[in-house]
Amino acid sequence: MKEKIGRVVKVAGPLVVAENIPQAKMFEMVYVSDKNLFGEIIEIKGNKASIQVYEDTSGIGPGEFVYSTGLSLSVELGPGLIGSIYDGVQRPLDELRKEYGDFISRGAYKPALNREKEWLFEPVVSKGATVKTGDVIGKVQETPVIMHKIIVPSGIEGEIISIIEKKKVTVEEVVARVKTMEETKEIKLFQKWPVRIARPVMKRLPPINPLVTGQRVIDAFFPIAKGGTACVPGPFGSGKTVVQHQLSKWSDADIVVFIGCGERGNEMTDVLMEFPELKDPRTGRPLMERTVLIANTSNMPVAAREASVFTGITIGEYYRDMGYNIALMADSTSRWAEAMREMSGRLEEMPGEEGYPAYLASRVASFYERAGRVFILGSGKEATLSVIGAVSPPGGDLSDPVVQATLRTVRVFWSLDAQLAYARHFPSIHWLRSYSLYVDMLSDFYKKEMGEEWIEIRQEAMKTLRREAELQEMVRLIGIDALSSKDRLIMETARSIREDFLQQNAFMDADTYTSLKKQYRMMKLIHLFNKLAAHALDKNVGLDKILSLPIRIEISRAKLIPEKELKKFDAIEEKISSLFNTLVKEVENG
Amino acid sequence: MAKEYVTTREIAGPLLIVDHIEGAKYNEIVQIKAVDGSIKNGQVLEVDGDRALIQVFEGTAGLNLGGTRVKFLGRGVEVGLSPSILGRIFNGSGVPIDGSSAIISEKRMDINGNPLNPYARNYPSEFIQTGISAIDGLNTLVRGQKLPIFSGSGLPHAKVAAQIARQAKVLGKEEKFAVVFVAMGITFEEANYFMEDFKQTGALERSVMFLNLANDPVIERIATPRFGLTVAEYLAFDLGMHVLVILTDMTNYCEALREISAARKEVPGRRGYPGYMYTDLATMYERAGRIKEKKGSITQIPILTMPEDDKTHPIADLTGYITEGQMFLSRNLFQQAIYPPIDVLPSLSRLKDKGIGKGKTREDHADVLNQLFAAYARGREVRELAIVLGESALTKADLIFVRFADEFEQKFVKQSEYENRSIEETLDIGWRLLSIFPVGELKRIRPEYIKKYLSRYTTFSAGDTKNAD
């Protein structure tokens, strides 16, 4: 398969220039030197091709051979992806460790899908059936929660002339043969797909359902739709990673693809060690059974980091094509953009803003554009791929080109705020600066799920928070005493919304996930208290009296009420009503 | 016998371009002999056909075009290792400067190392007690973490780092412990401070020092931390020791990196630093950690002085994105004679949640920590408000927060350079400070802990606060 062709003429970090590669294609995979360093052609000029190499190039020099493969950079798609941990070019890190030890040595290679492992294949079509691209021909129980559907690879259409019985096979065994117009094609459990090309769908649709995350500030205020896109920018230390981890743990997607792109090794380890222990709240099974991890930490080769987001999203699309809802997290896309910048600099391209290549915005857009709610090929069933990208702007500066390029594309913006993080208000998503363009599209769902009132209560809460910001300005100038009782009540209610509702402790069992029902009940408590308090103020009840009601402690602890005991909210509501009744009566009776 | 080339074509800043070479490899080390016979070391940055671009560690002073002899050594920069390396002092290029002979190496390792497989990592979760309340209580350090000190010129970061090195221990365990100290462009005085301190506490024989001082070659600084970290990896993962690496000062390192980048005429990123600085820093910081089924660990404390105390400066910014938190030193606190002047609000230890709690520190630690943070943040906010409006404009509740913030700085943060507080003491101080609030304000603490711990301190009277004033 490998032919000796081409020779290295230049080495500068991860960029290698080789000459005389016959029929060199853009994005073709090549191997550099006898050390088998894996790379990809990213520029062709005359007989010279520039190669970005996914491994350390120390010790490589002019004159060494370059071997071409003729293939584009592709990933292997088939059973065994779930629960795996890959680097940016889909090398299985657990297998690499077994073979090569604790450190990743150069030229290390293992196939992405285990070649020995046997899967129980069960056919769902029989001989003689006509199939086309995207049709399901069989299934494999990949994990106890994920049924892996074997779909007809792209470009194959015709009659099934043979298909095996239900039995155990490895990924490389042929399970079916299809007679197409031209020839007979073999179908195995796995297929390959070039990462830089989006997998085709039947039809794209606008999103209508929310991705429920159990995070109150997100679900209630700034929801993301299934099939939507969101971005989380924030300075370091503002809790970006915790937000991403929380979403991958708790969002109600069927499968989560988590890309650790140029981030900390220990954080990936945290995911690796925690996910197998964590239970999916819906199925009760370990989260690892629905997760694919891509880890290209910051000290791993920079070119592989560039590829990692594409590797991840291609895997996401593959499962989407089986009809699943996928949530993809990329942490962080800034590191990905920086990898692009580094390669661009080495190619001596004319730089755009801040040294980033001029094509930064279009690359970012085309990545997010692979998200969506679609009708899949074959069955035409509905499936979604949601993409949530973290951005790490230097100094938290939102005018950073990567943030700006991202904001032009995504529909949800969760703005993380360092001041909130310092005050240990987590998740530190700023309620005034964030937005979600899905709110209107999702309102039907929320009305159905949480009640007609919800939309109104939510708006009221947002209004209170906005008013609080104005009042705070005023307090800063003239002091709190200058505020009317009504305005002070608004300040207190806003504080209650912030502390008792928006703040959520990811490390506390009762608080880390909140169902929509409970979110609604919690918000309603605050709403009710505010409403009755305003009413009481009208009836001349003193504000101090209202604020010193001990029931407020119960409101603040409502977040700790277990999901199974939501009835407790009824009792608190009743108590609030009766307390205010008494207060008002006391005043009326003098 | 390797060929010597006299075909140097260009010398620019720290760089050398040599023509008509054969078989040069990227990152290979070269030996350069000047006309006066002095020997310098360099490394290949780029090979293009028969031309090589070389960075010279000791600087290019004294080199000329005709008489400079360049020899390619066919290997990367390596360091010789053996257990006897402990207690030794080297210069920034790994040559002993303590008067003893060279190390007889059992093993040689490339100083660039290989990336640690994320799958092989073990999550850092062992609490390190530093005896400093602001760290132990609020920004807890754990084994295998990289926690930088963000400082400014004139602040006592050296004292804090030395205190950590002196007092750090894991509770209930006696294990092999070592310190690797890497100096990049710091003054002799500062380096000497560490050496004296290590000597006094007997830590010197468990230390390995790499010193590139302010008047040493600038480009050498690129290699110095990598020598240190390679030694640390050897001590930790071959010999099973727990290694604390102190890197000071990262600002000087980054400036050396910028110098090379400028000499290469690369497209500059922010403030002239190269676009790959993030990746470059990451290849060092990420060498902290633990490995599954191995005993040792590497904990890193890099120190960087932020120009103009600006944390959005690229060096601080990129470091913060890679390390697992940061400790901020505050000029404001320092001027109020509070030592250690750690500003706890912007400081953060990302790994603390795995290192604290029952069985590690104390069950109430997490809640107390959150409450202290929240209360202190509010106290500071109100205190600033009071400056604008005067204290009379504050409500009664606000005044308690101001008092809390003052007390917190004086009693919790402030301690002496040789005071080694146990975690119990630290938490007890925290509770005592919190006891001035009505119970309803302690929203972050679980009721059962309030019941169990707060009762111990309710005797704390307002009279105490008078003394602090």
Full 3-state SS string of A459-490 = HHHHHHHHHHHHHHHHHHHHCHHHCCHHHHHH
Most confident range (mean pLDDT) of A72-86, A440-454, B164-178 is A72-86
Partner B contacted by A495 (CB < 8 A): no
Cβ within 8 Å of residue B257, ≥6 positions away: B222, B273, B274, B277, B280
Radius of gyration of chain B measured on its C-alpha atoms: 25
Residue B393 has pLDDT above 80, yes or no: no
Looking at chain B, the whole-number percentage of residues with pLDDT higher than 70 is 97
- Of how many residues is chain A composed? 590
Residue from B291, B321, B396 to probe the interface with A (highest A Cβ count within 10 Å) = B321
State how far the Cα of A409 lies from the Cα of A419, in Å rounded to an integer: 27
pLDDT band at A281 (very low <50, low <70, confident <90, very high): confident
pLDDT band at B463 (very low <50, low <70, confident <90, very high): very low
Half-sphere exposure in the Cβ direction for B445 (13 Å, CA): 28
SS3 A492: helix
Other beta carbons within 10 Å of B155: 22
Residue B462 has pLDDT above 60, yes or no: no
pLDDT band at A274 (very low <50, low <70, confident <90, very high): confident
Residue B467 has pLDDT above 70, yes or no: no
| Closest CA–CA distance from residue A65 to any residue of chain B (Å) | 13
Per-residue CA distances from B342 to A418, B326, B371 (Å)? 18, 10, 18
How would you write A164-180 as a 3-class SS string?
A: CCCEEECCCCEEEEEEC
Cβ within 8 Å of residue B293, ≥6 positions away: none
**Mean pLDDT of the A415-436 span:** 89
State how far the Cα of A165 lies from the Cα of A152, in Å rounded to an integer: 17
Extract the tokens encoding A75: 């990933």
- What are A299-333's pLDDT values in tens digits? 888 888 989 999 999 999 999 999 999 999 998 89
**Mean pLDDT of the B439-466 span:** 73
User: Which residues on B lie below 8 Å from A15 (Cβ)?
Assistant: none
Subunit contact A57:B27, Cβ cutoff 8 A: yes
Largest CA-CA distance found in chain B, in angstroms, rounded: 84
Subunit contact B121:A268, Cβ cutoff 8 A: yes
Instruction: Please name the amino acid found at residue A14.
Output: P
| Contact (CB, 8 A) for B293 and B107 | no
Strands A412-413 vs A435-436: parallel, antiparallel or unpaired? antiparallel
User: Which residues on A lie below 8 Å from B318 (Cβ)?
Assistant: 394
State how far the Cα of B350 lies from the Cα of A507, in Å rounded to an integer: 13
**Mean pLDDT of the A194-214 span:** 94
Closest CA to A291 of A341, A330, A334, A254: A254
| Closest CA–CA distance from residue B117 to any residue of chain A (Å) | 5
pLDDT band at A142 (very low <50, low <70, confident <90, very high): very high
pLDDT at A4: 66
| φ and ψ of A535, to 5 deg | -60, -45
Residue A18 has pLDDT above 90, yes or no: yes
Residue A2 has pLDDT above 60, yes or no: no
pLDDT at B431: 94
pLDDT at B465: 40
The DSSP call for residue A78 is S
pLDDT band at A3 (very low <50, low <70, confident <90, very high): low
E strand map for A92-196: 119-123, 130-131, 136-143, 146-151, 158-163, 167-169, 174-179, 184-188, 191-194
How would you write chain B as a 3-class SS string?
A: CCCEECCEEEEECCEEEECCCCCCCCCCEEEEECCCCCEEEEEEEEEECCEEEEEECCCCCCCCCCCCEEEECCCCCEEEECHHHCCCEEECCCCECCCCCCCCCCEEEECCCCCECHHHEECCCCEEECCCHHHHHHCCCECCCECCEEECCCCCHHHHHHHHHHHCEECCCCCCEEEEEEEEEECHHHHHHHHHHHHHCCCHHHEEEEEEECCCCCHHHHCHHHHHHHHHHHHHHHCCCEEEEEEECHHHHHHHHHHHHHHCCCCECHHHCECCHHHHHHHHHCCCEEECCCCCEEEEEEEEECHHHCCCCHHHHHHHHHCCEEEEECHHHHHCCCCCCEEEEEEEECCHHHHCCCCCCCCCHHHHHHHHHHHHHHHHHHHHHHHHHCHHHCCHHHHHHHHHHHHHHHHHHCCCCCCCCCHHHHHHHHHHHHCCCCHHHCCCCCHHHHHHHHHHHCCCCCHHHHHHC
Other beta carbons within 10 Å of A129: 15
Half-sphere exposure in the Cβ direction for B271 (13 Å, CA): 15
User: Which residues on A lie below 8 Å from B26 (Cβ)?
Assistant: 11-13, 57-61
Strands B297-305 vs B242-248: parallel, antiparallel or unpaired? parallel
| Contact (CB, 8 A) for B4 and B71 | yes
Partner B contacted by A59 (CB < 8 A): yes
pLDDT at A589: 86
Cβ within 8 Å of residue A511, ≥6 positions away: A504, A505, A559, A560
Subunit contact A394:B395, Cβ cutoff 8 A: no
A488-491, long-range: CB < 8 A, 24+ apart: A488/A543, A489/A530, A489/A533, A489/A534, A489/A537, A489/A543, A489/A546, A490/A464
Nearest residue, CB atoms, A422 vs list B45, B48, B377: B377
Extract the tokens encoding B193: 């401070």
**Mean pLDDT of the A549-570 span:** 91
Per-residue CA distances from A545 to B26, B246, B249, B410, B468 (Å)? 76, 56, 57, 35, 34
State how far the Cα of B417 lies from the Cα of B157, in Å rounded to an integer: 12
- Low-confidence winner among A3-7, A108-112, B27-31, B70-74 (lowest mean pLDDT): A3-7
Residue B372 has pLDDT above 90, yes or no: yes
Residue A452 has pLDDT above 60, yes or no: yes
Nearest residue, CB atoms, A59 vs list B28, B285, B370: B28
| Closest CA–CA distance from residue B286 to any residue of chain A (Å) | 6
User: Which residues on A lie below 8 Å from B289 (Cβ)?
Assistant: 265-266
Instruction: Please name the amino acid found at residue A416.
Output: L
Other beta carbons within 10 Å of A189: 22
pLDDT band at A71 (very low <50, low <70, confident <90, very high): confident
pLDDT band at B1 (very low <50, low <70, confident <90, very high): low
Strands A382-391 vs A325-331: parallel, antiparallel or unpaired? parallel
Nearest residue, CB atoms, B351 vs list A62, A266, A480: A266
Model confidence, pTM: 0.88
- What are B281-292's pLDDT values in tens digits? 999 999 999 999
Cβ within 8 Å of residue A66, ≥6 positions away: A5, A6, A7, A8, A16, A18, A21, A30, A31, A32, A33, A51
Cα angle, residue B300 at apex, residues B298 and B305 outer, rounded to 5°: 170
| Closest CA–CA distance from residue B266 to any residue of chain A (Å) | 7
Partner B contacted by A276 (CB < 8 A): no
Looking at chain B, the whole-number percentage of residues with pLDDT higher than 90 is 63
Subunit contact A423:B144, Cβ cutoff 8 A: no
State how far the Cα of B394 lies from the Cα of A329, in Å rounded to an integer: 45
State how far the Cα of B305 lies from the Cα of B313, in Å rounded to an integer: 10
Extract the tokens encoding A408: 């032009």
pLDDT band at A477 (very low <50, low <70, confident <90, very high): confident
User: Which residues on B lie below 8 Å from A422 (Cβ)?
Assistant: 345-346, 373, 377
pLDDT band at A359 (very low <50, low <70, confident <90, very high): very high
**Mean pLDDT of the A107-112 span:** 90
pLDDT band at B461 (very low <50, low <70, confident <90, very high): very low
pLDDT band at A449 (very low <50, low <70, confident <90, very high): confident
State how far the Cα of A322 lies from the Cα of A317, in Å rounded to an integer: 9
Residue of B nearest to A60 (CA): B25
Extract the tokens encoding B397: 């509740």
Average pLDDT over chain A, rounded to an integer: 91
Q: Which single residue is written with the structure tokens 């240190």?
A: B228
pLDDT band at B458 (very low <50, low <70, confident <90, very high): low
Partner B contacted by A416 (CB < 8 A): no
Q: Which single residue is written with the structure tokens 């199925």?
A: A283
Provide the sign of the torsion angle of the four alpha carbons A337, A342, A345, A346, taken in this order: negative
**Mean pLDDT of the A359-377 span:** 95
**Mean pLDDT of the B98-119 span:** 90
Provide the sign of the torsion angle of the four alpha carbons A462, A253, A424, B328, taken in this order: negative
